[in-house]
Structure 1
Amino acid sequence: MSFTSLGLSTALLEALVNQNFTVPTPIQQTAIPAILNKKDVLGIAKTGSGKTAGYVLPILMNLQETAGVKNRHANVLVLVPTRELAEQVKDVFKTFSKALTVPIKTLAVYGGVSINPQMMALQGVNVLVATPGRLLELVESNAVHLSTIETLVLDEADKMLNLGFKEEVNRIISLLPKKRQNILFSATLSDDLQHIHQILLHDPVVIKIEVEEDSLDLINQIAYIVTDEKKGPFLRHLINHHEMKQVLVFASSVHQVDAIVNKLRKNNIDAKAVHSKKSQGARTEALSHFKSGKLRVLVATDLMARGIDINFLPFVINYELPRSPKDYIHRIGRTGRADTPGEAISMVSPNELPHFEVIQKKMGKKVKTTYPV
């Protein structure tokens, strides 16, 4: 199947070619026609499945029908759990909207930065991408009115609810017009998500993309049994021994991320931290430098992982194991993309071994586990 059969305009098809999109992913094949037809959609698919373009393209097409009509408030609301994802979604909208004859204005709003510039930028916005907390602040300040929303998208809804945004999401939904199109994307279908799904969606087109058994085959996994006090020196050994030029390191807390970065810098290894306590400017700069190859080591918490999409990332290191097996798969899935092999290295302390057994069982793969030489 090609994009030409999905009902997209010639301008968007040309934009897809310019962005090196050749064949629609499975979720795009079903989502694009359904959204073009103003259907509600429930999509269950892992990160990296092409869901963002799967809703951005048809939404832009539908907006062209009314884009000439002057409207003081947004027509489309996209709710996301993190600032990084908000910026990422905004960029996709902006990239494809450049191809359109009628301009579409997209704005991303989120906390951690001054609210005043966001208020000033809201005039004439067609697509508003927002984190729940900041959106409610803007509503309470009368800077945003949600009465004109025609399409609501909940992107990474599972992560949003896991992070405790359920009450805020419910408040936002109560402010929206009853008649609207609803699009919900998630990596999993949890109980909380099932509840939201039942409230939101009317006769939805359901798209469930199963994770293929061999989807991790391009990732060479190895685990080293290392005591907590030796993890720092062993991490530096791995980076230097393998001459890693670009490596993403995961830790479980903000405190641990900062401690790892400080130790790496003291040992002349260029590293930066990305976590919720960093300013938006610092996070954006660190991600940009890492993606472009200017930064050797990026150390992150799981919360930040959603904004890190690099096609050719060679190494991922788990300094600590995540609590959830799904988060483990999401972490190592940052490498082994675009048909390019990658290395996923985990440092497992002796007391983490039973949990690592659970992760392997859930993943359906046995990982080679050894001691450092």
Structure 2
Amino acid sequence: MSFSSLGLSVSVVKAVEALQYTAPTPIQLAAIPEVLKGKDVLGIAQTGSGKTAAYALPILDKTQTNRAFRNRYVKTLVLVPTRELALQVSEVFLSFSAHIPIKMKTLAVYGGVSINPQMMKLQGTDILVATPGRLLDLVESKAVHLSEVDTLVLDEADKMLNMGFEEEMRQILSLLPKQRQNLLFSATLDQKVKAIHDSLLRDPVTVEVKPEDATVSDLISEQAYLVDTERKGPFLRYLIKQKNMQQVLVFVSATKRADHLVTKLNNNGIKAVALHSGKSQGARTEALASFRKGKTPVLVATDLAARGIDIQFLPFVINYDLPRSSKDYIHRIGRTGRAESAGEALTLVTPEDAHHFKIIQKQTKRVIPTQETSEIDLKGF
């Protein structure tokens, strides 16, 4: 099926085509027609399934004829758990709306930066993407009003609840009009999410894309390399140069490790930048922007900082350090293999990691090809 068969307007379909999206993913196929009908939707889908576009496209379609008439009274509110995800989601809206003739304003607001510029930018906003705490600050300052919101999206609701935003979410929901469309998206349907589902959604359409139904995993080529601890750094540099990687996301276990690895890479002629919670929001935004634009080929990130990274054609992901859990492994490799574009997920496994790596494979039901590297000459790397 094509996007034009889902009920989207001609202008939105043209915007999709301009960004080279050729066919909708399973979550988009199921959700877009229901959102266009005004139904409440519960969407359960894993990372990389295309769920942001599943709600962004129909919302943009409706916003063309349902603009905010009063300044600072937003029509669409998207709640997200992190600053990085707020930026990611807003970029999806902005990238599509840039190709739509009717001008619509999307703004992301989040904590960790000065509130005053955000207050100024709220003028004329149609679609507001926000983290809960900063949104309540803006409401208290009367910089934004929620009484005319007609579409509410809770994106990554499971993470929002796990991060302790229940009270903030209750406060926000109390400020919204009762008559509105509710869209709840989550990677899992645990008890907390089910409680929100039961209290928030009215006669919802449930759209669930199970991992085995998602096409993203088919696009990812996985490979592991057995490497001694003291050879990890040189081997990483060997991989980057041998495969001529122009854009690669490298995962590490801790912030200090990220900074150390970036220093080593830069000292060896490989331009790299770190993304982690120890950096200011401005530095994180700048690092991610430089990586997205291809100015910096290597981004070294921790798991928490990488939650909001969504790059459409990212070709490589490297697990320099193993993730703590199998869920984190899936999240990491899901950064590549998106938008029908193939990607490679490479993992470095030291002798100390071997047992944990076996557990990850067992829990993810994967058999990942593993290659010895002891014979590779790393002199000069």
**CA offset digits 1:40-69 (Å, max 9, x no partner):** 101111233222222122222333443273
> How many percent of aligned residue pairs carry the same amino acid?
61
**CA offset digits 1:283-308 (Å, max 9, x no partner):** 23322322333212110112233433
Distance, in Å, in 1 between the alignment partners of 2:221 and 2:95 is 34
The residue number in structure 2 matching 1:257 is 258
Distance, in Å, in 1 between the alignment partners of 2:68 and 2:177 is 21
Which range moves more in the overlay, 104-113 or 233-242? 233-242
The residue number in structure 2 matching 1:356 is 357
CA gap of 1:140–1:254, structure 2 versus 1, over 3 A, is farther
The residue number in structure 2 matching 1:91 is 91
1:250–1:318 contact (8 Å) kept in structure 2: yes
Matches within 5 A, 1:54-93: 54-67=54-67, 69-93=69-93
Letter in 2 for 1:182: N
CA gap of 1:123–1:337, structure 2 versus 1, over 3 A, is closer
Displacement of 1:231 after TM fit? Answer: 3.3
Please state whether the residue corresponding to 1:302 is helix, strand or coil. Answer: coil
CA gap of 1:141–1:28, structure 2 versus 1, over 3 A, is same
Distance, in Å, in 1 between the alignment partners of 2:21 and 2:314 is 20
Distance, in Å, in 2 between the alignment partners of 1:109 and 1:116 is 11
Which range moves more in the overlay, 20-29 or 321-330? 20-29
Please state whether the residue corresponding to 2:207 is helix, strand or coil. Answer: strand
Displacement of 1:16 after TM fit? Answer: 2.3
Distance, in Å, in 2 between the alignment partners of 1:347 and 1:169 is 40
Distance, in Å, in 2 between the alignment partners of 1:33 and 1:150 is 18
| Residue ranges of structure 2 left out of the alignment (5+ in a row) | 375-381
Residues paired across the two proteins, number: 373
The two structures have a TM-score, normalised by structure 1, of: 0.89
The residue number in structure 1 matching 2:192 is 192
The residue number in structure 2 matching 1:284 is 285
The two structures have a TM-score, normalised by structure 2, of: 0.88
Displacement of 1:272 after TM fit? Answer: 0.2
Displacement of 1:98 after TM fit? Answer: 4.4
Distance, in Å, in 1 between the alignment partners of 2:56 and 2:217 is 27
Which range moves more in the overlay, 219-228 or 298-307? 219-228
Q: Note if 1:17 corresponds to 2:20.
A: no
Letter in 1 for 2:28: Q
Distance, in Å, in 2 between the alignment partners of 1:14 and 1:236 is 41
| Residue ranges of structure 1 left out of the alignment (5+ in a row) | none
Distance, in Å, in 1 between the alignment partners of 2:318 and 2:5 is 41
Matches within 5 A, 1:151-230: 151-212=151-212, 215-226=216-227, 228=229, 230=231
Q: Note if 1:27 corresponds to 2:27.
A: yes
Which range moves more in the overlay, 214-223 or 36-45? 214-223
CA gap of 1:65–1:310, structure 2 versus 1, over 3 A, is closer
The residue number in structure 2 matching 1:365 is 366
**CA offset digits 1:290-344 (Å, max 9, x no partner):** 2333212110112233433334433321122222212201212223445554332
The residue number in structure 2 matching 1:142 is 142
Root-mean-square deviation (CA), in Å? 2.5
